[in-house]
Structure 1
Amino acid sequence: MKNLDRRKFLKKTSLTAAAIATATAFDSCAQDAPERASNAQYMGGFGAPKLETVRIALIGVGARGSGHARNLAMLEGTEIVAISDLYEDWANRSKTACQEIGAGQRHQNIALYTQDENQWKVMLDEVKPDAVFISTNWSNHAPMAIEAMKKGAHAFVEVPIALTIEEMWAIVDTSETTKKHCMMMENVNYGRDELMYLNMCRQGIVGDLLHAEASYIHELRFQMEEQERGTGSWRTHHYAKRNGNLYPTHGLGPVAQYMNIARTDDTFKKLVSFSTPALGRQDYAKKNYAADHKWNQLDYQGGDLNTSIIKTNLGRTIMVQWDETSPRPYSRLNLVQGTKGTLAGFPTRVALEGGVEGVTDSHHQWAQGKDLQALYDKYDHPLYKRLSESAKGSGHGGMDGIMRYRIVECLRNGWPMDQNVYEGCFWSAVSPLSEASVLQDGMPQEFPDFTRGGWGETAPLGIIS
C-alpha cells in the first residue's frame, strides 16, 4: 500500500485513536528515500585511506566494551588512545588491561573521560581518534555514531545500529557525506558455521536460494537482576514499552549475506509481523520481586515471541523470530533452503539432493554430529582457517576476535568493510518495521532502500582468504 492508502485504511479500522496516532509515526518507513547530498559518496564498496596505526577510542566498557578494549589492544597496528564510560572504575579497569597488554610500549597514554554523560563528546574533540567503538545502550548508538563520523572517526557500533528509520537515514547520510565507515558489529557473521555456509552458498552447493530462517532465541530474564548497571537496567524498559522484534540482527545478518541482500542479487521489500501475548516477563517479575519493586510497576507490552516474515524483491522469504523470555534452549535457526538442499543450525546439519557424499544417501537424512567433519574439511571458510587459532578466547567461540581482526585489517589496508553501513540499517530496520506491523495487526511494511538503488551495483561479499 502507498502511504495515503494505508492512512485511509487505518481510519476505517477499529484501532483506537491512540494507536492511529502511534501508527502515523511509522509512516516514514515507506516513504521515498531522501535525496542524496551533492557531496556524498556511495559507501557500498568504499575503502577509506590506509591507516598504518589505528588510533582507537571506546565509548562504553562494560561487559561488551571491555572485551573490545582487551582484544583490540592485542592486535598489531592499534593504539588505544581514549576510553569514555559513565563509571570511572570500569574505565580504569579497561585502561589497566590495555596497558598491561601493551607491556610498556603501546597503549600507555590512554585518556579517560568518565562520570558525566557528555564526556564522550569532549573525548572526540580532544583526542580525535581514527576509529570509535561504541558499546552503550541502544538509544545512544545512532547519536554517538553520527557525532563520531562528523568528528572525523570511523564508527563501529554494537547491534542494533539504530532504533528508528529516521536515525538510520541520518547514519547513512552522515557516512556518505563524511566518507567514514559506520559498521554495525554483527559478530555472528564471523561464526564458523556461518562462514562455512556462506562459502557453500557462494559455491552453489544448495542451488538457487529460496528461503531462510533466522532467530535470536535466548532466555535472558536473569538480566533483570542488573538494576543499577548492566544490560538489564535499561533493556528491561524496552521489553515493557515496545512490541516487535527488538533484536533481529544476530540471526538475520548471516542469512542476508548468504542471499546477497542489498548486494547485486536482491534486497528486502516488505515485512509482516505478529507477536504473542506478553506474559513471561510479568510472571517472572511477580515471582522474583516484591510487589512494590520497580519491575512490578511496569506494564509489559512486548510479546514474549515475535515472528516476522520478510519478502524480498525476488520473492524469496525470510522468517525472523525473537524471544528473550521463554524457557527454551538458545537458537539462531541459521537455515537457508535452496533448490539443491538445505543448510541449518542448532544443531548444525546439512541435507543435499542425492545425499551428502560419503555421509548420507539422500536429502531425507541430515548430515550432522560427527559426520560434519567431512564438510568442515571441504568447506571451512578460508578466513576461519587463517584466524581461528589466534581468535580463541576472544569471545563467542572466536567470532568476536575474527570480527575485530578484520576491522583493523580493512582499516590498515584501505579495504571495504565486510559489512557496509547499508546492511547494518537494513538488518536493524526489522525492529521499527515489526513494531509498526504488530501495531497494525500484521499490515505489510515496506523497507526503505537505504542504498537509493545502489544495491544493484554493489558487489557481493567475496570469500575472503
Structure 2
Amino acid sequence: MSETVTRREALKLGAAAGVLAGAARRAAAATGPKPIRFGFIGVGGRGTGLLQQALAHEGVEVTAICDINEAHLNRGIDLVRKARGNEPAGHSAGPTDYRRLLTRDDVDAVLIATPMQLHGRMAADSLRAGKHVLSEVAAAVTVDECLDLVRAQKESGRTYMLAENVCYYRANLIVLNMIEQGLFGELTYAECGYVHDCRSLLFNGDGSLTWRGELARQESGNWYPTHSLGPVAQWLGINRGDRLVSLVSRSSPAVGVKDYATKRFGADHPTTKLPWRGDSNTSLLSTERGRVIELRFDTSSARPHPTTTYFTLQGATASYHDREAVPSIWVDGKSKEVAWQSINDYAAEYEHPLWKRWAEEASKTGHG
C-alpha cells in the first residue's frame, strides 16, 4: 500500500473500530477453544456493512440477528448463511425484541448498529445481560444514559467498546505516537470538527424523517461529537491524566435544512414547516489541566464533501493540521524552514504499532 498519507486515504483506509474489534476477537479466539459468538442488533445499511466485515474474520461466529425491519433481518440472515453455511436466529417481534436475543446462551457479545437514540439503553441492557458490547457512535444521547452505561459496565465487568473509527485513521495514529514519544512537548490547544452535508440523510423518500432527521429537529448543539472529539481526546489523554471540566456552546440560525427540504419536496410540504435547530454549532471545552478544545459540528449546511473531519493540534514544540490534501506538521528544531512539512516526512519514524500490525487488513474495510 502507499507509504504516504493523504486526506482521501485516511477516509478510505482508516483502521476502523470494526477492524480493531475484529483484531481483538481474533486474538481472543486464538487463545481459546471457541470463536466469539456475536449477536447483531440492527442490520440496516451500517449494520449490514459491519456484519460483512465480521464474517470476514475466522474468529467470529454470528449466531443471532435482531432488526424490526424484516427485510433487513432476512438480508442479514442470508449473508450469514452464504458466508458460513449456518442460519442465525432471527428476532423481529417489535422494538424490545433485542432483549430476547440477550437471553441466548449462544451469544457472547453484541454489535449495536441501531438508530443513535437507542444505543445507550440497548448497550446497558446488553451489559447487564452478561454480553460484551461493540456499539456504534454515539454511545448515548442523554447524560442519564451515559451514567447508566458506566454503571452497567462496572456492574457487569464486561467489555464495552465504542466503535469510533476516526481514532484509528493512519494520520491520527501517527500523531498519537508522536505525542507519546514527546515530539509535541506539552499540549495546549486543539481544534476539531465534523462538517459534513448530511441533509439528504435526514429524510426518507416521502419526506418523513429518518432517525437523523428526528435528532436534527429535536436537538440543538452538537449531538454527533465523537468523530472529531475522539482522536483529540486520545491525544490529550482525556480520562488518562486529564479530563474535560467545562464547555460553552453556541449554535447558528437554522436555514440549511429548510432550504433543502423546500427544493426537494416543495414549499407546501409539512417538512418545511418543522422548527429545525441551528445549522452550525461551535463549542469551547476546557480540561482540568487548562487545555482548550474548539469543537465544531455542522451537518445541515450546503458544502462540498471532500472529507468529514478536520484537526489542529498545538504543543510547545510542534504544531499539526490536516486542512490540506496531505496532513502537515511543523516541529521546532527539526523542520528545516519556518514552513509546514508533510506528515509523510515523519511517517517511517512515527508509524503507530497498531497501523504496522493491521494496515493490510484496514485497507480492505472501506468506510470501516
Q: Same fold (TM over 0.5)?
A: yes
SS at match of 1:239: helix
**Per-residue CA shift, 1:26-83, capped at 9, x if unaligned?**
xxxxxxxxxxxxxxxxxxxxxx998642110011111111111111111122110011
The answer on whether the counterparts of 1:331 and 1:346 sit within 8 Å (CA) in structure 2 is no
SS at match of 2:54: helix
The answer on whether the counterparts of 1:54 and 1:130 sit within 8 Å (CA) in structure 2 is yes
Alignment of 1:163-178 (within 5 A): 163-178=141-156
Work out whether 1:323 is the aligned partner of 2:298.
yes
The answer on whether the counterparts of 2:249 and 2:284 sit within 8 Å (CA) in structure 1 is yes
Alignment of 1:144-223 (within 5 A): 144-223=122-201
The answer on whether the counterparts of 2:39 and 2:63 sit within 8 Å (CA) in structure 1 is yes
In the superposition, the TM-score normalised over structure 2's length comes to: 0.86
Work out whether 1:75 is the aligned partner of 2:57.
yes
SS at match of 1:389: helix
The whole-number CA distance in structure 1 between the counterparts of 2:344 and 2:179 is 18
**Per-residue CA shift, 1:179-214, capped at 9, x if unaligned?**
112221111111111111111110111111111111
Ranges of 4+ aligned residues in structure 1 off by more than 6 Å:
none
**Counterpart for residue 289 of structure 1:** 265
**Per-residue CA shift, 1:269-320, capped at 9, x if unaligned?**
10111111111111111222123424223111x2111000111000001111
The whole-number CA distance in structure 2 between the counterparts of 1:374 and 1:73 is 37
Distance 1:228 1:73, change over 3 A: farther
Aligned amino acid, residue 142 of structure 2 = T
* Structure 1 unpaired stretches of 5+: 1-47, 401-465
* Structure 2 unpaired stretches of 5+: 1-27
SS at match of 2:103: helix
Work out whether 1:306 is the aligned partner of 2:306.
no
The whole-number CA distance in structure 2 between the counterparts of 1:228 and 1:184 is 33
SS at match of 2:310: coil
Q: CA RMSD in A?
A: 2.1
Work out whether 1:87 is the aligned partner of 2:69.
yes
Work out whether 1:117 is the aligned partner of 2:91.
no
The answer on whether the counterparts of 1:60 and 1:85 sit within 8 Å (CA) in structure 2 is yes
Q: CA deviation at 1:229?
A: 11
**Counterpart for residue 317 of structure 2:** 340
Q: CA deviation at 1:331?
A: 4.0
Alignment of 1:53-452 (within 5 A): 53-102=35-84, 104=85, 108-114=86-92, 116-127=94-105, 129-227=107-205, 233-263=210-240, 265-300=241-276, 302-328=277-303, 329=305, 330-347=307-324, 348-356=327-335, 361-362=336-337, 364-368=338-342, 372-396=343-367, 400=368
Aligned amino acid, residue 59 of structure 1 = I
Identical columns (%)? 34
The answer on whether the counterparts of 1:332 and 1:346 sit within 8 Å (CA) in structure 2 is no
The whole-number CA distance in structure 1 between the counterparts of 2:112 and 2:350 is 34
SS at match of 2:309: coil
**Per-residue CA shift, 1:320-371, capped at 9, x if unaligned?**
1000022234342222110001121233111111343xxxx23x31113xxx
**Per-residue CA shift, 1:364-420, capped at 9, x if unaligned?**
31113xxx4332222121211221112223122xxx3xxxxxxxxxxxxxxxxxxxx
SS at match of 2:213: helix
The answer on whether the counterparts of 1:306 and 1:322 sit within 8 Å (CA) in structure 2 is yes
**Per-residue CA shift, 1:418-464, capped at 9, x if unaligned?**
xxxxxxxxxxxxxxxxxxxxxxxxxxxxxxxxxxxxxxxxxxxxxxx
Report the count of equivalent residues. Answer: 335
The answer on whether the counterparts of 2:131 and 2:158 sit within 8 Å (CA) in structure 1 is yes
The whole-number CA distance in structure 1 between the counterparts of 2:319 and 2:83 is 44
The whole-number CA distance in structure 2 between the counterparts of 1:256 and 1:224 is 28
The whole-number CA distance in structure 2 between the counterparts of 1:139 and 1:224 is 14
**Per-residue CA shift, 1:237-295, capped at 9, x if unaligned?**
211121101111101011111111101x2111101111111111111112221234242
The answer on whether the counterparts of 1:309 and 1:317 sit within 8 Å (CA) in structure 2 is yes
The whole-number CA distance in structure 2 between the counterparts of 1:216 and 1:250 is 7
The answer on whether the counterparts of 1:128 and 1:151 sit within 8 Å (CA) in structure 2 is no
Q: CA deviation at 1:224?
A: 3.2
SS at match of 1:126: coil
Q: CA deviation at 1:175?
A: 0.7
Q: CA deviation at 1:123?
A: 1.5
Aligned amino acid, residue 269 of structure 1 = V
SS at match of 1:183: strand
SS at match of 2:49: helix
The answer on whether the counterparts of 2:63 and 2:87 sit within 8 Å (CA) in structure 1 is yes
Aligned amino acid, residue 325 of structure 1 = S
The whole-number CA distance in structure 2 between the counterparts of 1:168 and 1:374 is 41
